[in-house]
């Protein structure tokens, strides 16, 4: 096993473990902190899969901007611990976990049947320069410009929604 593979499994285990804490935790603030651990572990996984640009973006945008927004709202609203569920919620819980297990089993069976057929393309290099050249090529340029309009609309929308009086 190479060092890459060992590190991959370490960070994959950290991501799954902290994701389980996100879901299992009743207090949203603890969930948010666990989600930060998940996002940083996934950033390491992205880096190990040869995508340094997305790895850095993951930390800056997700763990930096989005999670700070989440924690800001959590502190602003002074959220409380979730109450334990009423009786009869066990059916919902069992159904949800069962459906999740079915989803993993389905994807796992498809992967077991197909993924070993062809190996990964060699010499993969997704450096910032390569990604930027594709991003600003005619194929994606207009989509890229459209996302700036989306960001502007989201900015105006968030201010309009969170304002006390319209």
Partner 1 sequence: MSAGADLTTPALLLSAGLFAIGVVGVFLRRNVITVFMCVELMLNAVNLAFIAFSRWRGTLDGQVLVFFVLTVAAAEAAVGLAIIIAAQRNRDTLDVDSFNLLKW
Residues 2-61 that bind partner 1 (CB under 8 A): 2, 4-5, 8-9, 12, 15-16, 19-20, 22-23, 25, 28, 31-32, 35, 38-39, 42, 45-51, 53-54, 57-58, 61
Element (H, E) at 72: helix 67-77
Site string for partner 1, 147-166 (x = CB under 8 A): x--xx-xxx-xxxxxx-x--
- Closest CB 88 distance from partner 1, rounded Å: 13
Furthest-apart CA atoms within the chain: distance in Å: 60
Which of residues 87 and 99 has its CB atom nearest to partner 1 in the complex? 99
CA angle 136–141–146, rounded 5-degree value: 135
Phi, psi dihedrals of residue 78, rounded to the nearest 5°: 45, 65
User: Structure tokens of 59?
Assistant: 């930390």
Site for partner 1 in 66-125 (CB under 8 A): 66, 69-70, 73-74, 76-77, 79, 82, 85, 92-93, 95-97, 99-101, 103-104, 107-108, 111, 115-116, 118-125
CB contact set of 21 (below 8 Å; sequence gap of 6+): 30, 31, 34, 37
């Amino acid at each position: 096993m190479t060092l890459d593979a060992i590190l991959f499994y370490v960070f994959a285990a950290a991501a799954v473990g902290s994701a389980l804490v996100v879901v299992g935790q009743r207090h949203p603030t603890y969930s948010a902190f666990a989600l930060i651990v998940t996002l940083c572990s996934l950033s390491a996984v992205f880096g190990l899969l040869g995508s340094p640009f997305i790895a850095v973006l993951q930390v800056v945008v997700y763990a930096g901007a989005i999670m700070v927004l989440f924690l800001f709202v959590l502190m602003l609203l002074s959220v409380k611990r979730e109450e334990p569920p009423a009786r009869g919620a066990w059916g919902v819980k069992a159904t949800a976990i069962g459906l999740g297990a079915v989803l993993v089993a389905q994807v796992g069976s498809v992967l077991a049947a197909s993924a070993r057929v062809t190996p990964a393309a060699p010499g993969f290099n997704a450096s910032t320069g390569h990604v930027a050249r594709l991003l600003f090529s005619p194929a994606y340029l207009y989509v890229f410009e459209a996302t700036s309009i989306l960001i502007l609309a989201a900015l105006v929308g968030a201010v309009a929604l969170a304002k006390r009086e319209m």
